[in-house]
């Protein structure tokens, strides 16, 4: 069990991460979409969509709620699992930072439940869901740190934020260095 959590911030392509878990910034339907969701579905192959359809058919007939998380296999991805989480959409009035924080902590809970040692996150809710990258960065880093302090030793010992664009990378780097 890990006692110290290492947080990394890198620019890169989430679909190429060889962590145990990659987190999908999914929509509640879990059936693919644009951005991170579309890229992960494309890279994972048809098995991911089939697994998501099965989740919808069996345990999530109404879809996945905002702030919650659920796992599927990673299929053709380097990651063993995909943890899907639905970020809050500011354009729909979902402006509570606690909902956003829950995306990160719920994903960590699922990853720990799988016995994962490493997890890679995108900037959930930044971009099309209308949250500013600097706010997502602050909430995400605070949520991960609080989760680690509250949980103590878990299997998860590496949290990597994998950010596609230089401005989002800069926002996360700045949030990490701001007290």
Point out the residues that are catalytic.
37
Alpha helices in 34-153 (DSSP H): 35-44, 46-58, 97-114, 133-151
CA distance to 1, 45, 113, 144, 147, per residue, from 75 (Å): 26, 7, 19, 26, 28
Q: At what angle do helices 166-177 and 133-151 cross, to 10 degrees?
A: 50
Backbone φ, ψ for residue 56 (5° rounding): -65, -40
User: Which of helix, strand or coil describes residue 122?
Assistant: coil
The C-alpha atoms of residue 16 and residue 83 are separated, in whole angstroms, by 15
């Amino acid at each position: 069990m890990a006692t110290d959590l290492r947080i990394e911030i890198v620019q890169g392509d989430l679909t190429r991460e060889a962590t145990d878990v990659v987190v999908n910034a999914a929509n509640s339907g879990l059936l693919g979409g644009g951005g991170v969701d579309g890229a992960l579905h494309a890279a994972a192959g048809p098995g991911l969509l089939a697994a998501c359809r099965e989740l919808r058919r069996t345990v999530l007939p109404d879809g996945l709620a905002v702030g919650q998380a659920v796992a599927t296999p990673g299929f053709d991805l380097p990651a063993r699992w995909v943890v899907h989480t639905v970020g809050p959409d500011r354009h729909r009035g979902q402006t509570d930072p606690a909902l956003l924080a829950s995306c990160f902590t719920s994903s960590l809970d699922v990853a720990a439940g799988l016995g994962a040692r490493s997890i890679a996150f995108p900037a959930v809710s930044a971009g099309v869901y209308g949250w500013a990258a600097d706010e997502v960065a602050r909430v995400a880093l605070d949520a991960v740190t609080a989760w680690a302090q509250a949980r103590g030793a878990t299997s998860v010992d590496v949290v990597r934020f994998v950010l596609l664009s230089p401005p989002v990378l800069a926002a996360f780097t700045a949030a990490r260095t701001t007290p």
